[in-house]
Chains A and B, each alone.
Chain A
Amino acid sequence: DQQVKQNSPSLSVQEGRISILNCDYTNSMFDYFLWYKKYPAEGPTFLISISSIKDKNEDGRFTVFLNKSAKHLSLHIVPSQPGDSAVYFCAASANGGATNKLIFGTGTLLAVQP
């Protein structure tokens, strides 16, 4: 039972345009959501997070939107840069995101074309 789903295995975007990565979840107990970025042969790197009490969190070029009623979150990257090319994982946690296990989606491979 996949509690966190990323339905797009891959996404290709032109440099300078917006990248939108989507994530859906099924467990209403999740209260903290995170995005990780992963390059080949490296561990995932924390990118941005959002608590369920918010609907938006912004950090530079990265913005995460949370729609609790739809159990949907998205990561917006604008403007996209070639260095953003990586696999992006959505993750969710119940009772906080730093002490409890994370449930990961299956990832979306983002390719930013120069």
Chain B
Amino acid sequence: GEEVAQTPKHLVRGEGQKAKLYCAPIKGHSYVFWYQQVLKNEFKFLISFQNENVFDETGMPKERFSAKCLPNSPCSLEIQATKLEDSAVYFCASSQGAGAYGYTFGSGTRLTVV
């Protein structure tokens, strides 16, 4: 499809529970990015993939966060043992790669940890 599809739109987890978010990039896009928007207007880069390979993981917290992009499956971002501070909107984006102008974002998953 021509949009980045993120599911679910909303996710509520109790502290300590696991959260798993999904992202289907645009077909033909080889790069996938995850961003976290904690405060209303502050985006933090988490991780990017080139196909199924990690491209840049400099923003990923060392503990509790993991991500995958496997062939023929949506990409996923998993948070083990969620904390209140993980409450945020998580955006996925995809790109064709070099030569493209910017990338296309999904509409986000709002994670609320209670």
Contact = CB atoms under 8 A, between A and B. Distances in A.
A50 to B, nearest CB: 10
Task: Bin chain A's interface residue count.
Answer: 20 to 34
Contact of A102 (B45, B97, B98): B45
A103 B45 contact: yes
Given A98-B98, A100-B56, A101-B58, A46 B103 contact: yes
Q: Looking at A44, A46, A49, A99, which has the most chain B CB atoms within 10 Å of its CB?
A: A99
B4 interface: yes
Contacts of B43: 89, 102, 104
B103 to A, nearest CB: 6
Contact of B106 (A43, A98, A101): A43
A49 B50 CA distance: 22
Given A43-B108, A89-B43, A101 B48 contact: yes
Interface stretch (A11-19, A20-28, A34-42, A70-78): A34-42
